[in-house]
């Protein structure tokens, strides 16, 4: 019995019916084949991979331009980033690893991160160094559009020829970094992972799955070292309305490639608000969460937990890295609770889950730290990515079965039951730990906890059979197609 069959055998019928997916009538578009791209100048974006059908071609059509108020552009960061003070007792918990990281950010004397121009040169370099031979790895650049300032948003696709001529494409994994411009570790990590995929170090992964890396989804934010895009929009809160070209680029990638696994890399802020409320310093190298949004299929959630998060926790700990569930602290001084990541469909992690993919979030301890501990932060991201890729390869066949099953189950629920429109986390308590900033001691504490693992329904409605749109609503049609 396969792992999927074991998972299916333990199904809870009532839970499955209650977890019906949003947009029940949606039919998944066929994936686009990966093709090699010819390098072109920055001012002339190269074409994306050709769609497999007219349906996917329509899905890939560029949305009608939406006029957004553009705020004054922040200055470009060229000076060394200031290093915040870190008590020695705290720093002792995060020693620098003894490894060499081949990215521009780690060149001798470097005080900033890999620039957009450097990243583009690296991406272009892969198209000239692809291996050849019967079992060679095909490397292609996918152009997903341009940022608000005209910077290219490009992904690297790594594939192997099918084991049998004419066979279906392998299941896909998409890894996204750099949605927030001031969270650099994920981008640096994906440069290293791309080198590993190209060199054959991860050949056993590519024997089982195809991999697409989007190293920097928000190049404008990275250039200015700001969280948001050029107009200030938080790209990771725009995966429902798709108002920004950056969010549309990610959506286009997910429609064209139709992955069974999506991994989103971020860095969580080490804040004084946490210390003021709890008397300690945040201590975890990595915080994890999967899609926690109403209407995600329960089997998808179960696979995310059993096939991915639990092995990832074990892998990180075996590498000497600390890990916990993702949580945030409120800026309200009176609020002494921790809250897991949001439950809205506009968040990238949740949007991936609503596409019936296993969708995961990895946040390293880095927000507000500048370059402090950067090598350890990048190491943590690399370990996490390699673990997720290994899990995807291990469960490749089961992930395809799961994806197909949930797609069919979703479509069969049209016109039936209720769909959740709005939900909230469940208040509870949670035992966590932190670092005493004076002694370095690990202190245990129990906190009020807003759990996204159990959601409370705030608003629901009868599940629709479909939607009628006026002929003039072309923009809405394009966005719905980009949402899959």
Summarised one tens digit per residue, pLDDT across range 212-271 is: 999 999 999 999 999 999 999 999 999 999 999 999 999 999 999 999 999 999 999 998
pTM of the model: 0.85
Kindly report which listed range (80-89, 303-312, 427-436) carries the lowest average pLDDT score.
Answer: 80-89
Single out the residue of 238, 360, 345, 242 nearest to residue 294, CA to CA: 345
CA distance 186 to 171: 23
The C-alpha R_g of the chain, in whole angstroms, comes to: 22
Q: State the Cα–Cα distance between residues 334 and 136, nearest whole angstrom.
A: 58
Whole-number Å distance between alpha carbons of 411 and 408: 5
Distance of CA 299 to the CA centre of its chain: 20
pLDDT for the residue 7: 63
Closest CA to 51 of 70, 29, 69: 29
Question: How many whole angstroms separate alpha carbon 468 and alpha carbon 431?
Answer: 48
Q: What is the mean pLDDT of residues 311-320?
A: 98
Residue 422 neighbours by CB under 8 Å, 6+ apart: 294, 457, 458, 459
3-state class of 210 per DSSP?
Answer: strand
Share of the chain above pLDDT 70, in %: 80
Q: Flag whether pLDDT at 15 surpasses 70.
A: no
Query: Above 70 in pLDDT, residue 14?
Result: no
Please report which confidence band the pLDDT of residue 10 belongs to, taking 50, 70 and 90 as the band edges. low
Least confident of 18-22, 163-167, 203-207, 468-472: 18-22
Instruction: Return the residue matching tokens 């802020």.
Output: 269
Identify the pLDDT of residue 20: 34
* Residue 305 banded pLDDT, cuts 50, 70, 90: very high
Entry field: residues in the chain: 484
Report the pLDDT averaged over residues 411-418.
94
Distance of alpha carbon 44 from the chain centroid: 27
pLDDT for position 8: 55
Q: How far apart are CA 301 and CA 328, in angstroms?
A: 21
- Measured CA to CA, the distance from residue 56 to residue 123 in angstroms comes to 25
- pLDDT at residue 166, rounded to an integer: 58
Q: What is the pLDDT of residue 90?
A: 94
Average pLDDT over residues 444-449: 96
Residue-level pLDDT at 467: 81
Query: What separation in angstroms does the CA of 206 have from each of 63, 209, 259, 386, 456?
Result: 33, 5, 14, 12, 40
Average pLDDT over residues 458-476: 92
Q: What is the pLDDT of residues 376-412, one digit of tens each?
A: 999 999 999 999 999 999 999 999 999 999 999 999 9
The whole-number pLDDT of residue 417 equals: 94
pLDDT tens digits, residue range 74-108? Answer: 444 444 455 567 889 999 999 999 999 999 999 99
- The sheet carrying 418-435 orders its strands as 328-329, 337-339, 442-462, 418-435
In 3D, which of 18, 221, 41 has the Cα closest to residue 113?
221
How many C-beta atoms surround the C-beta of residue 112 within 10 A? 16
H helix runs in 319-373, sequence order? 348-353
Residue 290 has pLDDT above 80, yes or no: yes
For the four alpha carbons of 454, 351, 264 and 140, in that order, the dihedral sign comes to positive
């Amino acid at each position: 019995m396969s792992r999927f069959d074991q998972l299916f055998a333990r199904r809870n019928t009532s839970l499955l019916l209650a977890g019906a997916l949003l947009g029940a009538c949606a039919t998944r578009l066929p994936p686009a084949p990966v093709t090699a791209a010819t390098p072109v100048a920055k001012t002339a974006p190269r074409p994306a991979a050709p769609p497999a059908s007219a349906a996917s071609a329509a899905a890939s059509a560029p949305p009608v331009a939406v006029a957004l108020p553009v705020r004054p552009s922040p200055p470009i960061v060229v000076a060394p980033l200031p290093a915040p003070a870190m008590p020695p007792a705290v720093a002792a918990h995060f020693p620098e690893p003894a490894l060499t990281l081949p990215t521009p950010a780690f060149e001798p004397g470097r005080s900033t991160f890999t620039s957009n121009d450097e990243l583009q040169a690296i991406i272009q370099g892969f198209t000239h160094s692809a291996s050849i031979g019967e079992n060679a790895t095909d490397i292609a650049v996918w152009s997903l559009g341009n940022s608000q300032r005209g910077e290219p948003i490009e992904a690297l696709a790594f594939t192997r020829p099918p084991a049998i001529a004419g066979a279906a494409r392998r299941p896909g994994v998409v890894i996204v970094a750099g949605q927030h411009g001031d969270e650099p570790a994920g981008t640096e990590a994906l440069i290293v992972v791309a080198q590993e995929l190209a060199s054959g170090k991860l050949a056993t992964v590519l024997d089982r799955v195809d991999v697409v890396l989007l190293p920097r989804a928000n190049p404008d934010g990275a250039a200015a070292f700001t969280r948001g895009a050029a107009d200030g929009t938080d790209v990771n809160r725009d995966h429902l309305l798709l108002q920004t070209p950056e969010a549309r680029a990610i959506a286009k990638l997910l429609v064209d490639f139709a992955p069974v696994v999506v991994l989103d890399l971020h860095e969580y802020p080490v804040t004084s608000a946490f210390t003021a409320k709890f008397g300690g310093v945040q201590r975890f190298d990595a915080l994890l969460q999967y899609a926690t949004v109403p209407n995600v299929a329960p089997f998808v959630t179960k696979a995310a937990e059993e096939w991915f998060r639990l092995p990832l926790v074990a892998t990180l700990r075996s590498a000497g890295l600390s890990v916990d569930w993702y949580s945030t602290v409120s800026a309200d001084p009176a609020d002494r609770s921790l809250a897991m990541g949001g439950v809205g469909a506009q968040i990238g992690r949740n949007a991936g889950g609503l596409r019936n993919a296993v969708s995961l979030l990895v946040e390293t301890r880095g927000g507000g730290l500048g370059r402090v501990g950067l090598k350890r932060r990048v190491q943590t991201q690399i370990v996490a990515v390699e673990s997720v890729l290994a899990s995807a390869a291990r469960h490749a066949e089961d992930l395809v079965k799961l994806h197909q099953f949930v797609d069919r189950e979703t479509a069969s629920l049209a016109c039936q039951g209720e769909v959740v429109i709005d939900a909230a986390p469940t208040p509870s308590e949670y035992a966590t730990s932190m670092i005493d900033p004076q002694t370095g001691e690990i202190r245990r504490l129990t906190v009020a906890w807003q759990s996204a693992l159990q959601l409370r329904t705030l608003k629901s409605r009868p599940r629709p059979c479909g939607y009628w749109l006026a002929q003039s609503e072309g923009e809405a049609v394009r966005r719905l197609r980009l949402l899959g």
